[in-house]
Chain A
């Protein structure tokens, strides 16, 4: 415990040091000032488990971050240029408050059912088994393999191609657009050309999904996108822009969160004493192991809310319109909630982590994410003898973004081989 509250308030949450290891900062935040005004980010930081949980259910903690951004951050030229993009973003489930949220979620839920998710299991296992075998062969041959590019980034697009009915080539284009869009959504530092790429990505995605929607409207098939087009609640259906926005949301969330959750889980297993071997020999541990990975290093680090009206929250006077950062990664290691919070306990039982949030925005795709993680990791640990990091752990490239935790690369080699 070394920093003053003033120093905590000035901490840059997306510095390289914080991207690599924010947990010391979180521990101090939870201890010294559980609800803290960050001068650096002009936002309230909330990190204790009970507080984050309460904030998720708080009616005045609004999910709409788009309308205020449009109002405050963009001039007229920007509005003219990015108007369409914001129109689409404003229909994303994650940015909607009731009653619009309730209506849209109900319709989307009709297509994204447990049965539809379960039907994807075979495809997940098949893809993961094939990739794991290729990785095993390359490691045996002495290659260094990047498990992000060659495993984690391969599974989600393969599953989405099944859900949405697109070809591998389409999948590549969608991946690029989704990554470009992510630069804006996930709070990455502004880079030259970022806005242009984001704009082009949204245009590409809109055009692509508009064509898909028209295709399935004319000729329905048995996949999730087609079911979304057909979803009907007492005559209410998703409008074209809602369909397009929902497709983009699902693909944005479904690609990068699962990718990051998977690489973080693999990283934790590599760093653990015998987690990899235990999962290979005791498959019944997989469910609790995945939950523990989500708790220790879930893909969603922080979720942003906007105060709707003045809120008195845990002694803080949060003014109307203020941004509130709910730090899931801090809450998931709150010692008030979890015993031995910084230890990876592969068979942890009482594990009500917040990696999927809580309340009305609880992750719609949690069942799919869990299925992708458990099935893929099982194929990996069963087929590939535990490798080792090919670079020192402190050199791993963590994403420098506010909202997500994950690695850009996870290079590994066959264990015990010196290069």
Chain B
């Protein structure tokens, strides 16, 4: 990382609401009660390691850093 803060995003068209991200990085993700899909919390309380874990663990690869290819 080059000093600038990378913004994490959830592709809500892809999200299946498995809640994996909430399980591994609950400080930075929550489930939207209306559609059962994940949403990023800003500012997030999860550590960068937890967020990276969420990116890697998402079963449908719906989480990424803005501007990066999945």
Which A residues fall within an 8 A CB radius of B?
A: 56-57, 102, 105-106, 109, 113-115, 352, 356-360, 362-364, 366-367
Contact = CB atoms under 8 A, between A and B. Distances in A.
A364 B58 CA distance: 10
A362 B23 contact: no
A362 B36 contact: no
B19 A360 contact: yes
A358 B17 contact: yes
A109 B59 contact: no
17 contacts: A57-B17, A57-B35, A105-B19, A109-B20, A114-B56, A352-B14, A358-B16, A359-B18, A359-B36, A360-B17, A360-B18, A362-B17, A362-B18, A362-B60, A363-B59, A364-B59, A366-B60
| Closest CB pairs A-B (n = 4) | A57-B36, A362-B18, A358-B16, A106-B23
Given A358-B17, A359-B36, A114 B57 contact: yes
Scoring B18, B35, B60 by chain A CB atoms within 10 A of each residue's CB, the highest score goes to B18
Interface string B9-29: 000001011111001100000
Given A113-B57, A356-B59, A367-B59, A362 B16 contact: yes
Nearest to B22: A102
Nearest to B16: A358
Contacts of B36: 57, 358-359
Given A57-B17, A359-B18, A105 B23 contact: yes
Give the size category of B's interface with A: 10 to 19
A241 B18 CA distance: 24
Contact of B59 (A56, A102, A106, A366): A366
Interface string B53-69: 00011011000000000
A362 B17 CA distance: 8
Given A359-B16, A362-B16, 9 more contacts: A57-B35, A102-B23, A113-B57, A352-B14, A358-B16, A358-B18, A359-B18, A359-B19, A362-B60
A105 B1 CA distance: 31
Nearest to A366: B59
Contacts of A357: 16
B59 A362 contact: yes
A362 B57 CA distance: 13
Contacts of B18: 358-360, 362
Scoring B16, B19, B23, B57 by chain A CB atoms within 10 A of each residue's CB, the highest score goes to B16
B26 to A, nearest CB: 9
A105 B23 CA distance: 8
A109 B23 contact: yes
Contacts of A360: 17-19
A366 B23 CA distance: 17
A387 to B, nearest CB: 33
Contacts of B35: 57
Contacts of B19: 102, 105, 359-360
A363 B20 CA distance: 11
B24 A109 contact: yes
Scoring A56, A358, A363 by chain B CB atoms within 10 A of each residue's CB, the highest score goes to A358
B48 to A, nearest CB: 17
A357 B59 CA distance: 12
Contacts of B23: 102, 105-106, 109
A145 B18 CA distance: 39
Contacts of A115: 56
Contacts of B17: 56-57, 358-360, 362
A369 to B, nearest CB: 10
B57 A109 contact: yes
A359 B35 CA distance: 10
A359 B19 CA distance: 7
A109 B59 CA distance: 11
Nearest to B23: A106
A101 to B, nearest CB: 9
Nearest to A354: B16
Interface string B23-46: 110000000000110000000000
A357 B19 CA distance: 13
Nearest to B36: A57
Nearest to A370: B59
A336 to B, nearest CB: 17
Nearest to B13: A352
Contacts of A56: 17
A313 B61 CA distance: 31
A328 B20 CA distance: 22
A102 B17 CA distance: 13
